[in-house]
Amino acid sequence: MVDHNRAHILAITASQRLDSRGKPTVKVTVLTEAGTSSAIVPSGASVGNYEAHELRDGSATEYGGNSVHQAVTNVEKVIGPELIRQRFNVGDDLAKIDRFMIQLDGSKNKSRLGANAILGVSMACARAGAAVKGVPLYEFLREQAGITGPYLLPVPFFNVLNGGKHSGNTMAFQEFMIAPVGANSVTHAVQLGSEVYQALKSVIMGKHGASAVGVGDEGGFAPPISEPSDALDLLMAAVKKAGHEGKIKFAIDPASSEFYSEGKYDLGFKSQKQCQLAATDLSDLYRSLMNMYPIILLEDPFAEDDWAAWTAFKRDCPIELVGDDLLATNLERIETAKERDACNSLLLKINQIGTITESLEAAHRAFSYGWRVFVSHRSGETTDDFIADLSVALSTGHLKSGSPCRGERLVKYNRLMDIEDRLNVFGSPHEYAGTRMSRNEMK
């Protein structure tokens, strides 16, 4: 029950802070009589064309044009005063707050006020709503989404090998992930993932030397490899060395929009090697890898506007086919993908769309189609653990937040273990997703 006298916004402040790549981002703090609630906004490196607009100042004299002072000013001088004037109750009115900000911005992609400004306020207001109601954030978000029943705790997908725009090697594909579907809890899954990660470090050092274990943006190793099979062979060796064969499955995010041009996919885009493939040839490569390795998920295998390739591949794709740049957490893109039967899973990134309410709506729409929902971090992350609560709230069954390495990644996995402990203490019905990575597939 919300005490409406304590639920009104008294003040909203913002500041420029740094993300995990040392680039500026927006921090927002909301004050109610229940206290202060803060949020820090993430940022992507491989950004799709259909994402909400991240407002940056563009001044070459500060952070190479990446400062966010205008977004901060928009929070403090435009959004904050208007929200306070509306007398919204953060415990009940998150959807109204988000709708109001969307209307206040007035653009199609939040480019006037900035999606980074709007999202920071939306996240902080969600935290304030949870504080006013005296419940954990995941419980507040679950209520907002209208989800009931047992909690489904997500399988963590650890990005342990980096390529693409996330590393300096010549690998075209951006992410190779391990998923401990054979674990018996989130805590056990984190243990298995960490043990495979450490084994992988040892395998890479043995094969490529000590200089090859530098990490990419998301904590994954970036050894001097160029072929997808090289990466997957390393993962197979690491899983075996860690003693977890049969418990770990793999996932790949090629982020193929980054190497698509004029109808071809250039797997040599980071080197001098000529390796341009048609969509049909790239499809054959994916199928070959799926036949050889325990791959259960493929994300953005084709470019964001190569609809024909998506639809053709989906016809006989036996695994989870996730749209990231393809969908951009955007209802219009989700509708088009459904009409074209292009994928069967939504990658949910809150800063792609710019408010928590729209993120919940995107997940609801995906679930209504029988799709899965895969909650994701960004390469430019922060120490904010919001998305861990979001994945539990929505019972998405899987979350990716990088390697079991680097504080901005680990804070999400640590939060999942905290939530699991709390559910155990209170006897709340819950299960670890394992191979059932969707609330549509719960018992």
Q: What angle do CA 331, 261, 347 make, to 5 degrees?
A: 30
Q: Which two tokens stand for residue 85?
A: 């004037």
CA distances to 262, 275, 303 from 165, rounded to whole Å, are: 20, 17, 15
Burial of residue 182 (number of CB atoms within 10 Å: 0-12, 13-18, 19+): middle
Annotated ligand binding at 325? The verdict is no
Q: Which two tokens stand for residue 285?
A: 């490569």
Helical H segments across 94-149, by residue range: 94-105, 115-133, 137-145
Annotated ligand binding at 112? The verdict is no
Burial of residue 36 (number of CB atoms within 10 Å: 0-12, 13-18, 19+): middle
Annotated ligand binding at 4? The verdict is no
User: Using only C-alpha atoms, what is the Rg of the chain?
Assistant: 21
Beta pairing class for 151-153 and 430-432: parallel
**Within 13 Å, how many C-alpha atoms sit on residue 163's CB side?**
29
Cβ–Cβ under 8 Å, residues 154 and 396? yes
Q: Which two tokens stand for residue 160?
A: 């342990």
**Which of 349, 361, 381, 412 does the annotation list as catalytic?**
349
Q: Give me the DSSP letters along 71-83.
A: HHHIIIIIIHHHH
Cβ–Cβ under 8 Å, residues 381 and 408? yes
Annotated ligand binding at 376? The verdict is yes
Q: Give me the DSSP letters along 320-355.
A: EEEESTTTTT-HHHHHHHHHHT--SEEEE-HHHH--
Beta pairing class for 24-32 and 35-40: antiparallel
Annotated ligand binding at 233? The verdict is no
* C-alpha–C-alpha distance, residues 184 and 244, integer Å: 13
Render the burial of 361-400: b for 16+ CB within 10 Å, e for the rest.
bbbebbbeeebbbbbbbbbbbbebbbbbbbbbbbbbbbbb
Annotated ligand binding at 379? The verdict is yes
Nearest to 392 by CA among 156, 152, 206: 152
Q: Which two tokens stand for residue 24?
A: 């500026």
The verdict on whether 349 is a catalytic residue reads: yes
264 Cβ neighbours under 8 A, 6+ residues apart? 276, 277, 278
Annotated ligand binding at 378? The verdict is yes
Annotated ligand binding at 364? The verdict is no
Q: What angle do CA 435, 140, 145 make, to 5 degrees?
A: 60
* C-alpha–C-alpha distance, residues 324 and 334, integer Å: 10
Nearest to 139 by CA among 424, 401, 395, 413: 395
**Which of 51, 54, 139, 218 does the annotation list as catalytic?**
218
Please give the single-letter amino acid code of residue 290.
M
Q: Binding site residues for substrate, as ranges?
A: 166, 175, 299, 324, 376-379, 400
Q: Binding site residues for Mg(2+), as ranges?
A: 253, 299, 324
Catalytic center residues: 218, 349
Q: Binding site residues, as ranges?
A: 166, 175, 253, 299, 324, 376-379, 400
